Structure 1
């Protein structure tokens, strides 16, 4: 027994650190296993979950499905946001000028990036905006003399197109559930339809079409006075009368049915009508439909189709569509509903900030087939906005080409 203890004690090696409680074992002389000294293998690292991309930045279309000319239009609108918003805001200011110190705080109203100097955005469009020092010693900015000429030209277009805009508003009211829409909503989306800024003052000239009702909360509601059956015909229904087969190919609503049905050609054609064109007029009362039925979805698709046809550029953003959600009986699933109809609609931008286009309204190069005079003016304005100085001969040729 003593010999065994002596043999064991001899196997201990010298411990240079007496404070350690665990002795060091000699790897050469110890007869005992030292496997317990092996370090434990680390636990397998958990696979990091791939962070889900935010709808704010995730693109609607994959790279393979993108249509470049529609995406470029979205980029163009973003590029000229300062131009369009500042044009609207300045036009309503006294003398159409604004103090630069005040403008620097109005990044949302003027459409320039928060945290940036507004002067940088002004300098991008020297033919449109200019800065000057007022008699009060402060810097102000406003329109150039050339831009004031353009605004007069635009006013002439608004005057010439007044009846067309009146009919657009009448059709919007006829599509709405209660044949009425708050004036503030129409005013907020006015540029979408080419409606002039002073439309609220112009409508008093048309008492046979419109009536303004003021609610107790002060909200002004525009109501339809008379129903016009000639206006209550959608662009889709007109197309159906001209080319029935083309109109039927515009949409597809998946409805499952057995493949083993023994049907003749006529019966099969009738059955397939369920999967095609929604002939539920957007001018019918959608509020009476059961929200989750196929008929209701056909109605909502038809409403969006007709809404886009009333716009200047046959496109609308999510913000415009949400504005009329209640009036047009739309649901929160509008985005997914439009994605299911790629034959007719194209969605561009991001999942949270998307724009929907009416594909047939554009040619293969992304150019509008039928251009409203206001669209022609806007395109010319964009050209001027990119110039640093007036190109020789461009002014006169552009003015001469504008047709109303």
Structure 2
């Protein structure tokens, strides 16, 4: 049967001509690649900035008892929420998220301004539940895959709660989703105490296939030619590799693909094969994520479970044809290049509908505010014109009276 290497797009593609690999064992840590900024991928993060700020504030209010909070309490949390202006300004700029009202914090205290979830936001939250229910099987598959890649097929429940937004997991997935699938999941301990774990009960071989393996199988089916799974490698304009690094990547790409679901306990952590497996895990994690990007510190929380080295973040610059590490917002964010075209996310997760609907809710509020500001400006202009006309009439009247008076004097 014919054998075909999966497509590898790179500026040194033509050098991948020798099927015999003379892989020189070099210290991976000595292979340096200079980080270069990718403006288009940075913009993908920048344009989501307003949406993310709104999502953080909404989450903060939803976590409060009764989903209400005194405005001054929220004001004290501005730094943690990374809100660069006063909460009252935020409310005015984003109408439709919250209603404001006065109430007492204590029975004998003076009434203060409170925030509560608006009817419009509450309707969105119901839509969110509907989208999650519609995609429940997809969410269960994600959760299984996260566990299947982990050492001992176990992950900290508290860590999973921390990354639920990154993967589109429901807020209450440990309480309402996990118990519905006892043949897949076992929850050990009590979440929130730091000693709670989610364990995989049943291994499903159909789920133990990475995005790259599925892609290769599909191409094999369509072409009738056996395709070997490998990474799409494409350096954007302005990115260059030194000759030594270019040759290393060429030979490294020719190594057999190692599935992120395979047992690699026998591999040396510093070996090129382990590097291949690590890149495969990052590729799969980013593919499973909602926006095909995850902050590097969040990935670092799972170093032990996924067998990442202490210097794991260097993988993202060393393999800059596969990943991009953005420094936007002062946070390192790993991004999957193939998921984006310029600054647009092309590989859209089904749960992305939730973000689309939330952005629509925000835009409705922004449009209403723009119309209100436009109306106010029109009223101000009209009032100014009326004042000008009135003043002109008074001046005319005064001038006429003076003229009449002068005639009478004569």
Q: TM-score w.r.t. structure 2 length?
A: 0.69
The aligned counterpart of 1:237 is 213
Residue 160 of structure 1 pairs with residue 134 of structure 2: yes
1:286 alignment partner, SS class: coil
Greater helix share, structure number: 2
After TM superposition, the structure 1 = structure 2 runs for residues 77-88 of structure 1, keeping only pairs within 5 Å, are 77-88=48-59
Give the structure 2 partner of residue 401 of structure 1.
Answer: none
Q: Distance in 2 between matches of 1:82 and 1:256?
A: 43
Partner of 2:259: 281
Whether the 8 Å contact between 1:233 and 1:283 is mirrored in structure 2 is yes
Match of 2:362 in 1: 385
Find the counterpart in structure 2 of residue 366 from structure 1. Answer: 343
Answer with 140-149 or 183-192: which moved more: 140-149
The yes-or-no answer on 1:220 pairing with 2:196 is: yes
Q: CA RMSD in A?
A: 3.2
Deviation of residue 274 (structure 1)?
A: 4.3
Offset, 1:82: 2.6
- Kept in 2, the 8 Å contact 1:250–1:277? The answer is no
- Report if the CA contact (8 A) 1:211-1:223 is conserved: yes
* Equivalent residue in structure 2 for 1:66, among 25, 38, 44: 38
Superposed counterparts of 1:1-400, under 5 Å: 62=36, 65-68=37-40, 70-107=41-78, 110-113=81-84, 116-134=85-103, 137-202=111-176, 203-214=178-189, 219-241=195-217, 242=219, 244=227, 247=230, 249-250=232-233, 274-276=252-254, 279-349=257-327, 353-362=331-340, 364-386=341-363, 387-390=365-368
Query: Residues 47-75 of structure 1, C-alpha deviation per residue, up to 9 Å, x if partnerless?
Result: xxxxxxxxxxxxx954xx5242x212221
Q: Distance in 1 between matches of 2:231 and 2:126?
A: 44
Shift of 1:342: 2.0
Aligned residues: 315
Secondary structure of the residue that 2:345 maps to in structure 1?
A: coil
Secondary structure of the equivalent of 2:170? coil
Cα deviation code 1:102-143 (max 9, x no counterpart)? 112223554424xx5322222221122232212661211122
Where structure 2 has 5 or more consecutive residues not aligned to the other structure, the ranges are 1-33, 106-110, 221-226, 236-240, 371-410
Bigger radius of gyration among the two: 1
Instruction: Give 5+ residue unaligned stretches, structure 1.
Output: 1-59, 260-270, 393-404
Conserved 8 A contact 1:255-1:274:
no
| Larger RCO: 1 or 2 (CA < 8 Å, sep 6+) | 2
Q: Distance in 2 between matches of 1:240 and 1:170?
A: 22
